[in-house]
Structure 1
């Protein structure tokens, strides 16, 4: 297979050379030698870097990602770990969706003051009780959107 120096790997992968050196120090990737003063990698490192980038985007730590590779360098990914991370991402998405919906409501609320808005008061109450940390996001959304609130009329009305 073709060999690429660290500059070529950085250009093709989008990862700075300093990151590549750090990944090598952590054992995530391995150079095959040197060409002058530059580290040289097998071209297959690009696929491995793509897997690392995907893991980072999903929220895995570098230590968790390191465990996803067998000693021979091949991926060894536990599907249960992936399913658990997907569930974690679903919970985060639900929480952020509830927060976003609250912010949108506050931005478009027709009440003269946010403190006069029943929906905003419920958001405050949920936040004060720690609901955003303790209760699932669906519960926070349910509390904020329960009957008795009002629909915002237009953005920027308040």
Structure 2
């Protein structure tokens, strides 16, 4: 597959593909004229890169994983830690959304007079202090 097809199928601009290649995240199998050629498996690698970025891994962290595991065996312990951090962030964001929805529906003119608001606010503050 040439670089334009990989770009079209992955949604990553050719400049991004060249940058990923420079970082060692992907590699071309050769050239057809001036156009880089890639093995179709590069699409799986690009999907993993996108997943890693979405999960909060930096490109240099992803590149290190790939260098250590050229067969794409992913480091389960690092991914488990990242998944746990994402789950904690989801809980924190759900608590925050619950608090904000309550503010919108709260019958009290002064939110600090509302016992439910105060409870949600304490829970939100506790979650932030505990790293969630």
Q: In 2, Cα distance between the equivalents of 1:35 and 1:74?
A: 26
The 1:131–1:72 alpha-carbon spacing in structure 2 relative to 1, beyond 3 Å, is closer
Q: Deviations over 1:18-61 (max 9, x none)?
A: 21111111110011222222222121111111111121222222
Q: In 2, Cα distance between the equivalents of 1:45 and 1:135?
A: 40
Q: Which sections of structure 1, spanning at least 5 residues, go unmatched?
A: 138-158
Structure showing greater radius of gyration is 1
2:111 to 91, 110, 114: 114
The TM-score normalised by the length of structure 2 is: 0.84
The 1:71–1:87 alpha-carbon spacing in structure 2 relative to 1, beyond 3 Å, is closer
Q: In 1, Cα distance between the equivalents of 2:48 and 2:63?
A: 11
Q: Which sections of structure 2, spanning at least 5 residues, go unmatched?
A: none
The 1:72–1:106 alpha-carbon spacing in structure 2 relative to 1, beyond 3 Å, is closer
Matched with 1:153 is none
Alpha-carbon offset, residue 116 of structure 1 = 3.0
1:95–1:136 contact (8 Å) kept in structure 2: no
Matched with 2:44 is 47
- 1:1-158 alignment runs, 5 A limit: 4-70=1-67, 73-122=70-119, 131-135=126-130, 137=132
The 1:44–1:76 alpha-carbon spacing in structure 2 relative to 1, beyond 3 Å, is same
The TM-score normalised by the length of structure 1 is: 0.72
Higher helix share: 2
Q: Deviations over 1:57-96 (max 9, x none)?
A: 2222212211222467311322111211111111111111
Q: In 2, Cα distance between the equivalents of 1:44 and 1:126?
A: 46
Q: In 1, Cα distance between the equivalents of 2:80 and 2:119?
A: 33
Q: Number of residues paired by the alignment?
A: 132
Q: Secondary structure of 2:36's match?
A: strand
Alpha-carbon offset, residue 121 of structure 1 = 3.9
